[in-house]
Every structure is written in C-alpha cells, then in structure tokens.
Structure 1
C-alpha cells in the first residue's frame, strides 16, 4: 500500500510520517490491501485541535475515517482504531450473511473477528413509514421539526423516494433514487 500524506496548516515531520506509515501498514494484516492501493491522509491543524482524515480506496471497499484530537499522535491512533473497527464490523456482517461467494468476503478473509458480535450491529428497532409526497422545502421543515438528521419522503417533482439529510459541515444533502 502506498501512503499519500498531505498537511494543511501543519508541516509533516519525519516522525509524523513514520507513525502514520507504521500504523496504516498494520491494517494490511486485517484487510487485503493491494500494493497499488493508495491511502490518502489529510492532516489539518486548527488553533484548538488537530484533525486527521484517512481514505483507503480498495477493489473491495472504501475505508474512510476521521478524528479530532488536541494531540496529532493520539488522533492517528484513534483513526486507525476506527478503521480497524470498520473492518471488524464489515467482516461480522459478511459472516452473518454467510455470503462466501462475495468478492467483499474474500477481501475480509484474513481478519480474525474473535467470534464476537458487535452490539452496534444488532437491529434494535424496525419502523415502517408511509411516504408522503412533499417538496424539498417541506421535507426539510418536517425533518427540523422532528429534530432528526434525515427524512425520507416522496418527491413531488419526480414522484420517487428521496432522502434529505443534515451534513456535518452544515447545510443539507439530498439523495434521489433512479
């Protein structure tokens, strides 16, 4: 795996680069990452905190995590823990599906999940909804009134299901179906 490290408002020291390389290379034992796969790492320094974003596009899946911490080295450890947890959860889901022919299953084959089921992976509530035909503005208003982070509705222009959601950076996002 190749690692592309970019710094924004921070200079990348050899110690930072070594730490990131060592930690990300450790992921190769959990997930089949090819030599051509390139991990993209963005380090950003803010006055009160540091942020690290890691994206690893592979043939089987895209691994992505970000974390914020006062100490950049702690942030690196946390983001690698998040990536490892993502791999473990995906492997658990694939194991429970028993879909051994999936190419995604092959990519997760070498990861040892210790036979544990993550409590986060259990569906704790199922809800059925009847889609109402609404405009985008009406859907956003309903979502805000319900204090939800997303809202599913039937778009009045297309007549197809759509999802409006709150973005982390503020504003809204829209997912339309085809």
Structure 2
C-alpha cells in the first residue's frame, strides 16, 4: 500500500499476480488524481483482474464520505488502468463543477418532489433471482448530496440515510429528467 500525505493507494489482483511494474503504473496514474484533493483523507483502491481475454481495472476512490468508482475492460491491462482513472477524473471534474454551481445558487430543500410509490403490478410467470448483493456504509446526507452522489456514480437510484430524519430514503431519476424521493412514513 502506497501512502502520499493523506492519501493511500492499495493495488490488488484478483486471480492475478500484480507485478511491480503494474503496481507502480497504477499508483502513478492514481496519484495524478490527487491534484483534485485539498485536505481530508483520500483512499484509493485498484483491483486488477483478468476474465477470459479481458483485462479489468476497477478503481474506487473514497474522499471525505464521497465514493467514486469506475471499471474498465479492455484487451490490455495498462489501457484498462488508463481508462478507469480517466473515468474517475471525469467524475471528479463533474463533482467540482456541481459544488461550484451549488455555492453560487441557493438550493431549496423542497426542490426534489416527494413521490408516492405506485401499486405494484402483478408479476408474470417469472421468478427473478438475486444475482448480486452489495453492502456499503451509509453516511447521513441531504437529498441534494444523495442526488449528487447518484449522478457521480452514474446510477438511476441511490439509497441513503437522510440527515434530518435519520431514516433510509431513496432518490431516483424519473423518465422526465426530474428526481423522485422515496421516504418511509
């Protein structure tokens, strides 16, 4: 694990031995992202793996409660690392722009409409299976922060703990481009 100031970089392999050259290259590329961080603790994890003929680089960056993640699959491991780092850099630029905009404009808490969940339609003769389970720590945040996190991750929904009510809520992107909020009664 490499450490630079407040930043730590961990490079691991899954069914792959990480060579010193791959480790050094990964650390060098990820270190370039640190120009975006001022203060606070930063942690980056790089997971390298090979599946069939695809070289996969997964990059996760933790920055003061914000999670940035990217994955790249190419036929060359170095290209996968480059692409994964570039994607996180794009997310960081987007995040920085949003924060600057947010400081310039006042954001009203009621900007996100509360959406009632519609009654579920009867399922067809299909038995869905849970194919993936994700576990993650949730820090309390506002609706606006949850929307920003959802956008950074490129997801259509985001589960979070609301900082005011301390209940689990879900924000989601609607087809009309607006956002919805699901909160318990």
Displacement, 1:5?
A: 1.3
* One of 27, 30, 38 as aligned partner of 1:32: 38
Q: Which residue of 1 aligns with 2:24?
A: 18
CA distance in 1, matches of 2:27, 2:69: 16
CA distance in 2, matches of 1:78, 1:97: 28
Q: How many residue pairs are counted as aligned between the two chains?
A: 123
Q: Mapping of 1:1-178 within 5 angstroms?
A: 1-32=7-38, 34=40, 36-98=41-103, 131-134=117-120, 137=123, 177-178=183-184
Question: Under a length normalisation based on structure 2, what TM-score does the superposition of the two structures give?
Answer: 0.55
Displacement, 1:92?
A: 1.3
* 8 Å contact kept, 1:6–1:42: yes
* 8 Å contact kept, 1:39–1:54: yes
Displacement, 1:177?
A: 3.7
Question: Under a length normalisation based on structure 1, what TM-score does the superposition of the two structures give?
Answer: 0.57
RMSD, matched Cα: 3.7
Give ranges in structure 1 of 5+ residues lacking alignment: 101-128, 141-148, 152-160, 165-174
CA distance in 2, matches of 1:91, 1:51: 27
* 8 Å contact kept, 1:31–1:87: no
Q: Whose Rg is larger?
A: 1
CA distance in 2, matches of 1:37, 1:150: 26
